[in-house]
Structure 1
Amino acid sequence: MYDAILLPVAPGSSANDAIPHAKSLAERYGATVYVVSAIDTMSQMLRGPQAGAFAERVESAAERRVEDVTTELEAAGIEVVGNVVRGEPLDVIRNAIEDVGADIVVMPSHTRTGLRRVLLGSVTEKIVRVSPVPVVTVPMADRETADDRTGDRSDDRDDDRSDSEA
């Protein structure tokens, strides 16, 4: 049923409750998991001496994240391909669906409410609307709710990528 599973991951984030779901589907169907992380091109538009260093940190974080996830999946005996792509996370994920011939996308969903939802939006939510294949969304509300209570906002910069999300 599923031969190719797309698993977007955010650079710099270690949290992604979607990984076990992708792993389970891959084991069940003998599928290949394609791990993708997007390097948002908005950072490329910044000027000045700090912009280059920031872009390099984001790219390094994306490469480390993809490597960590691919290593984890390979250790479980799953065929996996990792890739870091420059671009807007929504575009990167949408293109990856087509490029790898994904049968399904597995990605986390942050359950934001109020002003944070209006201002930040959600890559996952957008992918659900535009994807030509099924999208499995894995809620990550507990971790974000705990962070909100403690005031820890360290992952806010990653929340809208695809933990990308990509």
Structure 2
Amino acid sequence: MSYQHILVPVDDSPISYAAVDHAITLAKLCNSEVTLVSVVSVDPYVGVDFYQVAPMITEHFMEAEASAKSRLQEIAQTFDREGITVQSKVFHGSPAEGIIHVADEVSADLIVMGSHGRTGVKKLVLGSVAQSVLTQSPIPVLVIKHQSS
């Protein structure tokens, strides 16, 4: 099977960079185009006094977006050096929703993403973006698992 367009969700975690390495290998083997996506999460604080926290939230989102764009640009250069066609997108919203949305938007036929491998209470409290994407995605998802040392 050959993949024409690979979506690679990235954040600043080491497992995200491991997924990037796998995506580079696959893209070279399949001569695939790649889209990188970074999701800037929406404000989880519903019901707080907007006028008191608005300046802090605005500053936080501006910093998060700038960081995401910088990270995407840095990673895109790695794909460029390998001769792989790459584009980058920033999505605002929940991570799983953003990944699924962008995959559809760019007509990706594979998602390559990292998973921290949380279990038990940590998974329950923190959720699992990879698990959500796996259950919601209509296209194949390659999950690169965290390797403990």
TM-score bracket for this pair, using the shorter chain length: 0.7 to 0.9
User: How far did 1:32 drift?
Assistant: 0.4
Report the Cα distance in structure 2 between the residues aligned to 1:28 and 1:102, rounded to whole angstroms.
16
What is the 5 A alignment of 1:11-160? Answer: 13-15=12-14, 16=16, 17-42=18-43, 47=50, 48=53, 49-142=55-148
SS in 2 for 1:133: coil
What's the C-alpha RMSD, in Å, of the aligned pairs?
Answer: 1.7
Letter in 2 for 1:65: R
Report the Cα distance in structure 2 between the residues aligned to 1:91 and 1:134, rounded to whole angstroms.
16
Gaps of 5+ in 1: 147-166
- CA-to-aligned-CA distance 1:36-74 (integer Å, 9 cap, x gap): 111111269673221111111111111111111111111
Letter in 2 for 1:31: S
Report the Cα distance in structure 1 between the residues aligned to 2:40 and 2:119, rounded to whole angstroms.
26
Gaps of 5+ in 2: none
Asked if the contact 1:44–1:51 (Cα under 8 Å) also holds between the matched residues in 2, the reply is no
Sequence identity of aligned pairs in percent?
Answer: 30
Letter in 1 for 2:131: E
Report the Cα distance in structure 2 between the residues aligned to 1:56 and 1:133, rounded to whole angstroms.
32
TM-score for both structures, normalised by structure 1: 0.79
User: How far did 1:141 drift?
Assistant: 3.8
Asked if the contact 1:34–1:80 (Cα under 8 Å) also holds between the matched residues in 2, the reply is yes
Report the Cα distance in structure 1 between the residues aligned to 2:57 and 2:105, rounded to whole angstroms.
30
Asked if the contact 1:14–1:65 (Cα under 8 Å) also holds between the matched residues in 2, the reply is no
TM-score for both structures, normalised by structure 2: 0.88
User: How far did 1:114 drift?
Assistant: 2.2
User: How far did 1:88 drift?
Assistant: 1.3
Letter in 1 for 2:112: V
Q: Select the structure of larger CA radius of gyration.
A: 2
Letter in 2 for 1:42: D
Q: 1:112 to 1:14 in 2, by over 3 A?
A: closer
Q: 1:82 to 1:52 in 2, by over 3 A?
A: same
Q: 1:120 to 1:75 in 2, by over 3 A?
A: same
How many residues are aligned here?
Answer: 141
